[in-house]
Structure 1
Amino acid sequence: MGFEALGRQRNAAATRQAILDVATLRFSREGYDDVGVRDIAGDVGVDPALISRYFGSKEDLFDEVMNVCMAGSDLMDGPREDFGRRVAHEIVYGPKKKEAKMTGLLIMLRSIGSAKASEVIRRSSHRCFYGPFAEWLGAPDGAVRARLAGGLMMGVSIGREISGGFDLSKEECEILCRRLAAALQDLIDR
């Protein structure tokens, strides 16, 4: 491969990434229905046809954004018998959520009212999180336990992010962590 062809590939990769970054930002601020391909193209400085070339439809681009935002769940790393304690400690005492995870949540919240976007969100969340988590949990009722544990983790995490912390004393945080760990472990073990 010549130098010129290599340069075009790098530019293509950089352009594709720029489109993905701008789409992520736009979807997180405005939601699926209020963002157009022309808006994204204008922000990147490319022709809208280039977005179609790289991603297909707006829905396909949204799907790629959701995949990137949901990728890399490490919940299942580590001993199963330690899941509740490990995850509760991370939720209560860990650093604030990574920007990409919060961006994904914002995109979901702002876009869930859209028929097209809600279907993409449903597929992505199953493919990237609930499906693998349910499989890891196994029978019986792995899918049900995955939904319950996911809802509990998401709810407590969102509450922490929204309020800037739990606004609890050190002792209350310890109680919260213990009770959350017990509830999560119960869902894992049953």
Structure 2
Amino acid sequence: MSIQMLGLKEITLSFVACRPRNAAATREAILTAATRRFTAESYDQVGIRDVAGEVGVDPALISRYFGSKEELFRAVIDDCGSGTDITEGDRATFGERMAHEIVYGERKESKLAWLLLMLRSASSPKATEVIQRASNECFFDPFVTWMGGEDAALRVRIAAGLMMGLTVSRDLSGLNMAPDECERLKGRIARILQDLVDG
């Protein structure tokens, strides 16, 4: 084999070895750009070409990594987190743990992104369908299974609404409460949530 052929083989092997890392970085860049777009504009306003242009890649590459625009949107939703970690830990301390998080937890960008995705795309039937399917598969259905017992689905809806509403309220407007009031608020929330879990 000639020196030129050996050199070409080494270059090819080097390129192949680097490709997975570059592919992963490109996929992550696409996902980041898509998240930025979908949280700033409605689902119907965002196009694959817009996302591709922001990343500097061919639109066909996005289709190769994610498939359709709908699948890209779903990937963005999944990247925000499923929320299934709320059921990790002892059932007997669920109310206390969640109440502490609601009152004292740090503001999380992933939660804000999820909220913005829902608000920006609420008018789109296609986006709403994707959001509802993702919510049921990744949050509500596992939560209902974990909750168990009579009216589990109803109890989960009440608990989820309470937790989401209070967290959003805290993140948007702040609690602006004295330390003792925060503790009393935490105690009340803990009792309500634990009652829902205990059935």
Query: When the two structures are superposed, what TM-score results if normalisation uses the length of structure 1?
Result: 0.94
Match of 1:62 among 67, 73, 79: 73
Matched residue type, 2:123: G
Matches within 5 A, 1:29-108: 29-71=40-82, 73-96=84-107, 98-108=108-118
Contact (CA 8 Å) 1:37, 1:58: kept in 2 or not?
yes
Query: What is the CA RMSD across the aligned residues, in angstroms?
Result: 1.4
- Aligned residue number for residue 9 of structure 1: 20
Distance 2:75 2:63 in 1: 13
Q: Deviations over 1:110-131 (max 9, x none)?
A: 1122100000000111111111
**Whole-Å Cα distance in 1 between the matches of residues 156 and 165 of structure 2?**
14
SS at match of 2:45: coil
The runs of 5 or more residues in structure 1 that have no matched partner are: none
SS in structure 1 opposite 2:50? helix
CA contact (8 A) 2:39 2:113 kept: yes
Larger Rg: 2
| Aligned residue identity for 2:186 | C
The Cα of 1:2 is off from its aligned counterpart by: 3.6
1 CA distance for matches of 2:84 and 2:196?
18
Deviations 1:114-173 (A, max 9, x none): 10000000011111111111110012122111111000000000000110x211111211
CA–CA separation in structure 2 for the residues paired with 1:110 and 1:30:
6
Q: Deviations over 1:5-62 (max 9, x none)?
A: 1211211111111111100111111121121111100000011111111111100100
- Equivalent residue in structure 2 for 1:152, among 158, 162, 166: 162
Q: Tell me how far apart the structure 2 counterparts of residues 25 and 148 of structure 1 sit (CA, whole Å).
A: 31
- Alignment partner of 1:127 is 2:144: no
Separation of aligned partners in 2, 1:105 and 1:161? 11
Deviates more, 1:70-79 or 1:85-94: 70-79
Structure 2 Cα separation of the partners of residues 175 and 72 of structure 1: 26
Give CA deviations for 1:63-113 in whole Å, capped at 9, x if unaligned.
1111111335321111101100111011101222x2112111111111122
The total of aligned residue pairs comes to 188
Q: How far did residue 4 of structure 1 move?
A: 2.0
Is the partner of 1:74 in helix, strand or coil? helix
* CA–CA distance in structure 1, aligned partners of residues 83 and 127 of structure 2: 21
Asked if the contact 2:30–2:51 (Cα under 8 Å) also holds between the matched residues in 1, the reply is: yes
Distance 2:193 2:83 in 1: 20
In structure 2, C-alpha distance between the alignment counterparts of 1:148 and 1:2, rounded to whole Å: 57
Alpha-carbon distance in structure 2 between the residues aligned to 1:2 and 1:112? 48
In 2, Cα distance between the equivalents of 1:72 and 1:186?
20
- Percent identity over the alignment is 56
